Amino acid sequence: MLRRILLLIVSLPLAVQGQKVTMEFDEAHDFSDFKTFAIIPGQIHSQNPSLNNPLVIKLIEASIRKYMAAKGMEEVPKGPHDLNVRYSLGSGRRTEIDRYPAGWRWYGTRTVVTHYTEGTLVIDLHEAKTHEMLWRAIAVEEKNDPMKIKDHLDDMVRKSIEKYPPKMK
């Protein structure tokens, strides 16, 4: 029984890992004025070939188009538009060390080392006329296998763009 409880405690950090999306914006702007956008070519900052390739760029840009259109925004690749959408994707290996009481009468410590890859997708919206950044979403995905981050890119874009336009306070 004690072993099962320890296993549950040890596996809890792995269960709560997942996507985290944060957003920040310039509160001085009225986002309801923006109706059109253009995607500026993004950057991939990853040594992993499963993420650093043209297919991932196409996937991210297609997801941005799909979810911006769902928000009522129209893409204007050439010509005047309201917003420039820029994105970057990075990944890096992370190590998390957790210590838990273990042993007879809890005299002792069990150390669990978890290795995972963190993928970070940043989407920025800049006003096309002034090039001023107005909105930023940062989506972080943690996976044991870096190849699996690619499988979650569409969801990372969706969760990011769900936060646009920002709700004014």
Q: Does the 2-161 domain belong in CATH 3.30.160.670?
A: yes
How many residues appear in the chain?
169
If DSSP codes are grouped into helix, strand and coil, which group holds residue 14? helix
Domain ranges in the chain are 2-161
Q: Rounded to whole angstroms, what are the CA distances from 57 to 7, 54, 162?
A: 39, 5, 20
Describe the crossing of helices 153-161 and 54-70 by its angle, rounded to 10 degrees.
30
* pLDDT the model gives residue 151: 87
- State residue 165 phi and psi, 5-degree precision: -70, 150
Query: Which residues in 12-82 belong to E strands, given as ranges?
Result: 20-25, 36-39, 43-45, 74-75
Any bridge partners for residue 94, and if so which?
Answer: 116
What digits encode the pLDDT tens for the residues 93-110? 767 777 666 666 656 666
Percent of the chain with pLDDT over 70: 75
Averaged pLDDT for residues 146-159: 88
Query: Which residues in 7-108 belong to E strands, given as ranges?
Result: 20-25, 36-39, 43-45, 74-75, 83-101
Scan for tokens 């069990």, then name that residue. Answer: 110
Averaged pLDDT for residues 124-129: 94
Any bridge partners for residue 96, and if so which?
Answer: 114
Nearest CA to 59 among 169, 157, 138? 157
pTM: 0.77
Of 42-51, 58-67, 77-86, 119-128, least confident by mean pLDDT is 42-51
Q: Tell me the C-alpha distance between 83 and 135, whole Å.
A: 10
* pLDDT the model gives residue 37: 97
- Alpha carbon dihedral 143, 68, 32, 141, in 10-degree steps, equals 0
Higher pLDDT, 162 or 141: 162
- Chain-wide mean pLDDT for the chain? 82
Of 7-21, 24-38, 75-89, 131-145, least confident by mean pLDDT is 7-21
